[in-house]
Amino acid sequence: MIPELGHFSLIIALFLAATLGVLSILGAQRNSRALMGVARPLAYGMFVFVALAFGVLAHAFLSNDFSVLYVAQHSNSQLPGQYRFAAIWGGHEGSLLLWALLLSVWAASVATFSRHLPEEMVARVLGVMGLIEAGFLLFMLITSNPFTRLLPAAADGADLNPLLQDPGLVIHPPMLYMGYVGFSVAYAFAISALLGGKLDATWARWSRPWTTVAWVFMTIGIALGSGWAYYELGWGGWWFWDPVENASFMPWLLGTALIHSLAVTEKRGAFKSWTVLLAIGAFSLSLLGTFLVRSGVLTSVHSFASDPRRGIFILGFLVAVVGASLLLFAWRAPKVGLGGKFDMLSRESLLLSNNVLLSVASASVLIGTLYPLFMDALGYGKLSVGAPYFQAVFVPLMVPMVFMMGLGPLARWKKMAAPDLASRVKWGFAGALIVALLLPLTMGKLLSLESHKWSPLIALGLLMSFWIIASLVISLKQRLSGEGDFVQKLRRQSLSYYGMQLAHLGVAVFIIGVTMVKGYETERDVRMNVGDTLAAGGYEFRFNGVSQVAGPNYVSGMGSVTVHKDGRLVTELHPEKRVYNVSGMPLTEASIQPGLFRDLYVSLGEPIPESDGAWAVRIYIKPFVDWIWAGCLMMALGGVLAISDRRYRIHQKAVARAGNGTIVGNLQGQTS
């Protein structure tokens, strides 16, 4: 009976969402207070019923109700409690329900935190979100109902895919989906602005904090997924350019461009139509990502069950949403007119170039991801492009981007004389260049790495990070120079300034991580007998054999590897080869000793047949690899700082400004 309640809640939620979409948009067009007034209550109602449905599914999982088909397919009575909960989003139907839940959470939050916005804006934004929610709920009810019964009930479930039985995977999908879905808010604001015909700076101001929040979630989500791939897949890689990874990376790239573009639109009134297009693009790519992952048009390590009916529906939905938005854009954007003028060299032009580079990067990931599909459709057979393509395209795009990223915060709005800018940065750049060229010569010795090579790519990577750091120091120095108390001046800088710098520093840290891992990692795939030792990178790894250990729902062959350095014990690692009881699926669990400057990474391959307990063992030493995720975390924290800025809390002032229709942005970076 309870699962039927969940099904019924979804139907009610669909009805509420569709009503919200139609009535409030109509109300805004007709300027009817009564119709617009229903937007908020309907948004809350939609949230309540989707949450109810989610709660029902959670209950079915936690109480092992195997009469629900979805539960029987993705859970098992042996499955530990936290994974039974996470199993809700372990498959297609539940992932969609999570999507719908998070979208309704965003809609309810917009309804709550928009008291200071004009009524018709709120009505339009909530209306657009309601229409999207209605599309997803309809999709679920028609093709992917999570509450379908299995009669007679299964005695036990088929178990959650062991790959997903991991703490990282418990939080990775919700975080990532929060990001995906969060871009719908910026999208809804952009569409509302187009519908209302008011493409001034105000919509940008209002959607900025929402966009940043979504971007923060997405950054964390992607970083978690990458970290999971690193320790769970046992290959020691952290990014595979897999279609599913790319599906999240594309909207992230455009979202990053959007954040910067919104800043310009808000403060300078420029890039108006470009910003709207980016907002539409970021969310469209989120939808496209959903299509790619859910329709099975591409094969991937994450492949999900594919059902052509589902593919058709999502594609139809995608065409309707994106097509209608782009049509609206083509109709309304030409009337927008140009915004504030700016010179060839100015903060605007630097930001614009970076936006273009980010968009091109996003487009090239899209082309690479869809390449197999294009080739197949054109009859050239089944081909695909892998990491080499993406690396070849990505590095040349990122180099100029990082260079301008350093200049951007130092340049003035509107106009900047080139010699002036050059004289500000020349010492910083020279310093970064010299250190980047010389450091790799001594790096090997410094960190007792195995390889001591100097390579142009390593020097380039280091140059990019040191350049970001140097420009950051220059910017801080500029702001803190002059008379007055140093601490006072530090305090006077806005949180959004610190947020930006922290996020940029995160990029530098990330680049250091990537450069060092690529340049100096040690990888050994060896056959080891019990008692064998292997010397690598100044460490001595001793293989002590594999013993059987029983886990809660698996049996593990647990290896023991002791690591010594200069005769002292560093750590004992326990890589595992698990076999899950129900599915019988084997899983490799790497064992890692993380460190600030290097990770020691050991994973088990296969046992060597007809030997006395010998195994194929993978031993990796990964210098600076954790900096990759630390960098992502800093970017996310930078975003958090930026939205904590006090100007977002002074709503009343924002209303006053918006009412005057003038742009009185708090012009940061305009000092000196």
Partner 1 sequence: MMRFILPLILFLILSIFLYKGLGRDTREVPSPLIGKPAPAFALPTLQDPAKQFSPKEMQGKVWLLNVWASWCEACKDEHPVLMEFSMQKMLPIIGVDYKDKREQGMDTLKNAGNPYDQVISDADGKVGFDYGVYGVPETYVIDKTGVIRFKQIGPITPENLRDKLMPLIAELQAK
The one among 297, 345, 439, 476 contacting partner 1 by CB under 8 A? 297
Q: Give SS3 for 240.
A: coil
Residue 377 vs 569, nearer CB to partner 1: 377
Buried b (16+ CB within 10 A) or exposed e, 493-513: eebbbbbbbbbbbbbbbbbbb
Please state the closest distance from residue 380 (CB atom) to partner 1, in A: 13
For residues 281 and 537, which CB has a smaller minimum distance to partner 1 in the complex?
281
Peptide bond preceding 162 in cis form (omega within 30 of 0)? no
Only segment of 23-31, 52-60, 312-320, 463-471 that touches partner 1 (CB under 8 A): 312-320
Q: Measured from the CB atom, is 326 or 356 closer to partner 1?
A: 326
| Cα–Cα distance, 193 to 489 (Å, whole number) | 38
Considering only 126-134, 321-329, 513-521, 570-578, which stretch makes contact with partner 1 by CB under 8 A? 321-329
Q: Is 532 in the site for partner 1 (CB under 8 A)?
A: no
Nearest Cα to 586, choosing from 561, 564, 554, 632?
554
Token pair of 75, please?
Answer: 């859970």
Contacts to partner 1 from residues 328-347, by CB under 8 A: 329-330, 333-334
In Å, what is the CA distance from 591 to each residue of 319, 548, 602, 620? 45, 16, 5, 11
Residues whose CB is less than 8 angstroms from the CB of residue 201 and which lie 6 or more positions away in sequence, other chains included: 265, 266, 267, 269, 663, 665
The first and second tokens of residue 299, run together, are 């094969």
**Cβ 153 to partner 1 shortest distance, Å:** 16
Query: Is residue 315 involved in binding partner 1 (CB under 8 A)?
Result: yes
Distance CA 24, CA 21 (A): 6
Nearer to partner 1, 382 or 445 (CB): 382
Please, what is the minimum distance in Å from the beta carbon of residue 67 to partner 1?
18
The one among 119, 166, 376, 450 contacting partner 1 by CB under 8 A:
376
User: Which range binds partner 1 by CB under 8 A, 276-284, 429-437, 520-528, 548-556?
Assistant: 276-284
**How many CB atoms sit inside 10 A of residue 260's CB?**
21
364 near partner 1, rule: CB under 8 A: no
- Window contacting partner 1 (CB under 8 A); options: 116-124, 218-226, 376-384, 549-557: 376-384
- Residue 265 touching partner 1 (CB under 8 A): no
Q: Which of 80, 167, 323, 661 binds partner 1 (CB under 8 A)?
A: 323
> Both tokens of residue 410?
């130092």
Q: What letter does residue 609 receive in the DSSP assignment?
A: T
By CB under 8 A, residue 197 contacts partner 1? no
**Angstrom distances, CA of residue 171 to CA of 76, 218, 228, 242, 270:** 20, 12, 11, 20, 38
* Orientation of helix 495-520 relative to helix 625-643, angle to 10°: 170
Whichever of 295 and 496 has its CB closer to partner 1, that residue is 295
When asked if residue 311 is in the footprint of partner 1 (CB under 8 A), the reply is: yes
Nearer to partner 1, 9 or 295 (CB): 295
**Under rule CB under 8 A, residue 277 binds partner 1:** yes
Sequence-ordered strand ranges (E) for 477-611: 522-528, 533-536, 539-550, 554-565, 568-573, 576-580, 586-589, 591-593, 598-607
Instruction: Decide if 480 contacts 519 (C-beta within 8 A).
Output: no
Q: Which of 151, 155, 344, 377 binds partner 1 (CB under 8 A)?
A: 377
Distance of CA 176 to the CA centre of its chain: 6
Report the residue from 81, 197, 382, 567 that binds partner 1 according to the rule CB under 8 A.
Answer: 382
Do residues 302 and 290 make contact, with C-beta atoms less than 8 angstroms apart? no
Q: Is 318 in the site for partner 1 (CB under 8 A)?
A: yes
Q: Which of 306, 353, 478, 593 binds partner 1 (CB under 8 A)?
A: 306
CA distance 288 to 251: 9
Position among 319, 395, 473, 650 found at the interface with partner 1 (CB under 8 A): 319
Q: How many residues bind partner 1 (CB under 8 A)?
A: 39
Complex with partner 1: residue 113 or 374, whichever CB lies closer: 374
Among 299, 547, 670, 672, binds partner 1 (CB under 8 A): 299
Give min distance, CB of 586 to partner 1, in A: 8
Question: Which long-range contacts link 366-375 to residues 24+ away (Cβ below 8 Å)?
Answer: 366/246, 366/250, 366/285, 366/288, 368/241, 368/246, 368/393, 369/243, 369/246, 369/247, 369/250, 369/292, 369/298, 370/298, 372/298, 373/297, 373/298
User: Quick one: which segment of 308-316, 417-425, 451-459, 533-541 binds partner 1 (CB under 8 A)?
Assistant: 308-316
**Rg of the chain over all Cα atoms, to the nearest angstrom:** 27
Q: Which stretch binds partner 1 (CB under 8 A): 40-48, 309-317, 418-426, 480-488?
A: 309-317
Specify the stretch interacting with partner 1 by CB under 8 A; choose among 84-92, 324-332, 538-546, 645-653.
324-332
At its nearest, how many Å lie between partner 1 and the CB of residue 330?
5
3-state DSSP call for residue 198?
coil
Nearer to partner 1, 199 or 516 (CB): 199
Would you say 306 or 593 has its CB closer to partner 1? Answer: 306
Task: Determine the longest span between alpha carbons in the chain, in angstroms.
Answer: 82
- Identify residues 131-160 at the interface with partner 1 (CB under 8 A): 158
To the nearest whole angstrom, how small is the minimum distance from the Cβ of residue 582 to partner 1?
8
Q: Which stretch binds partner 1 (CB under 8 A): 34-42, 102-110, 191-199, 581-589?
A: 581-589
For partner 1, the binding residue among 141, 154, 163, 326 (CB under 8 A) is 326
List the one residue out of 517, 516, 522, 519 whose CA is nearest residue 538.
522
CB atoms within 10 A of CB 671: 11
615 makes contact with partner 1 (CB under 8 A) = no
Contact 73, 91 (CB under 8 A): yes
**Which 53-82 residues touch partner 1, going by CB under 8 A?**
none
Question: Exactly one of 145, 212, 273, 553 binds partner 1 (CB under 8 A); which one?
Answer: 273
Contact set with partner 1 (CB under 8 A):
158, 273, 277, 280-281, 284, 291, 295-299, 303, 306, 308, 311-312, 315, 318-319, 322-323, 326-327, 329-330, 333-334, 370, 373-374, 376-377, 382, 582-585, 609
